[in-house]
Amino acid sequence: MQRIIQPYTLLISGLLLLLSACSSQPTFDTQQVTLKLSPQQLLENPSAYFGKTVLWGGTILQTHNLTEYTQIEVLAYPLGSYQRPLTDQAPQGRFLLQHKGYIEPAVYEQGRQLTVMGTLQKTERGQVGQHSYNYPVIQSEQIHLWPVKSEPSSRIQFGIGIGIHN
């Protein structure tokens, strides 16, 4: 018995394939996360938040490998869909991310976007140029390094599908 594939079967199969390709976004378990706290807000009363879990993201400013951990300085931004930093909005301060072990600075380079879930450990005095700065320090539990966004060569695009854009 020969079976003829109906056009709608092909359409549904194609849509399912498209949707599964879009599901490669990071998943963060945010049940125990203090979501409304920004690095700037934390500096108003830091000790009240030590030991809390936060979900922050932003643009990497510097990556330094130290003896027992890697430290990444991040310019924080609000998070959008899929917890990606919204770099077209106003920055929310800076923070230091500490990750046990080695992270390649050539990959986690200046300008890349990341999102991190981690525990607030302390604040640390540092410098931003000639200005003294208090950095919130978080110990990472989960890091997602976002792919570099490529700009379309043209504003005019043709195609069929579903698009979600930050």
What is residue 6's predicted lDDT score, i.e. its pLDDT?
58
Q: How far apart are the first and last CA of the chain?
A: 49
What is residue 157's predicted lDDT score, i.e. its pLDDT?
53
Asked if residues 16 and 8 have their Cβ atoms less than 8 Å apart, the reply is no
Instruction: Give the pLDDT confidence of 36-45 residue by residue, as tens digits.
Output: 899 998 999 9
Token digits of residue 88: 């077209």
Q: Is residue 155 part of a domain?
A: no
What is residue 120's predicted lDDT score, i.e. its pLDDT?
96
Task: Judge whether residue 13 has pLDDT over 50.
Answer: no
Q: Is residue 115 part of a domain?
A: yes
Q: Is residue 44 part of a domain?
A: no
Q: Is residue 158 part of a domain?
A: no
Asked if residues 120 and 136 have their Cβ atoms less than 8 Å apart, the reply is yes
Report the chain's mean pLDDT, rounded to a whole number.
83
Q: Is residue 166 part of a domain?
A: no
Instruction: Give the pLDDT confidence of 138-164 residue by residue, as tens digits.
Output: 999 999 999 987 655 545 555 566 655
Over residues 72-91, the mean pLDDT reads 95
Per the structure, the count of domains in the chain is 1
Q: Is residue 40 part of a domain?
A: no
Q: Is residue 79 part of a domain?
A: yes
Asked if residues 146 and 74 have their Cβ atoms less than 8 Å apart, the reply is no
Over residues 50-64, the mean pLDDT reads 96
How far is 77 from 67, CA to CA, in rounded Å? Answer: 29
The CATH number of the domain where 137 resides is what? Answer: 2.40.50
Q: Is residue 165 part of a domain?
A: no
Q: What's the domain range around 81?
A: 55-145
How far is 135 from 130, CA to CA, in rounded Å? Answer: 15
Write down the residue that tokens 């979900």 correspond to: 55
Instruction: Please report which residue ranges of 23-140 form alpha helices under DSSP H.
Output: 39-42
What is residue 156's predicted lDDT score, i.e. its pLDDT?
54
How far is 83 from 47, CA to CA, in rounded Å? Answer: 26
| Buried b or exposed e, range 101-119, using 16+ CB within 10 angstroms | eebeeeebeeeebbbbbbb
3-class DSSP assignment, residue 8: helix
Token digits of residue 28: 């963060």
Over residues 105-114, the mean pLDDT reads 97
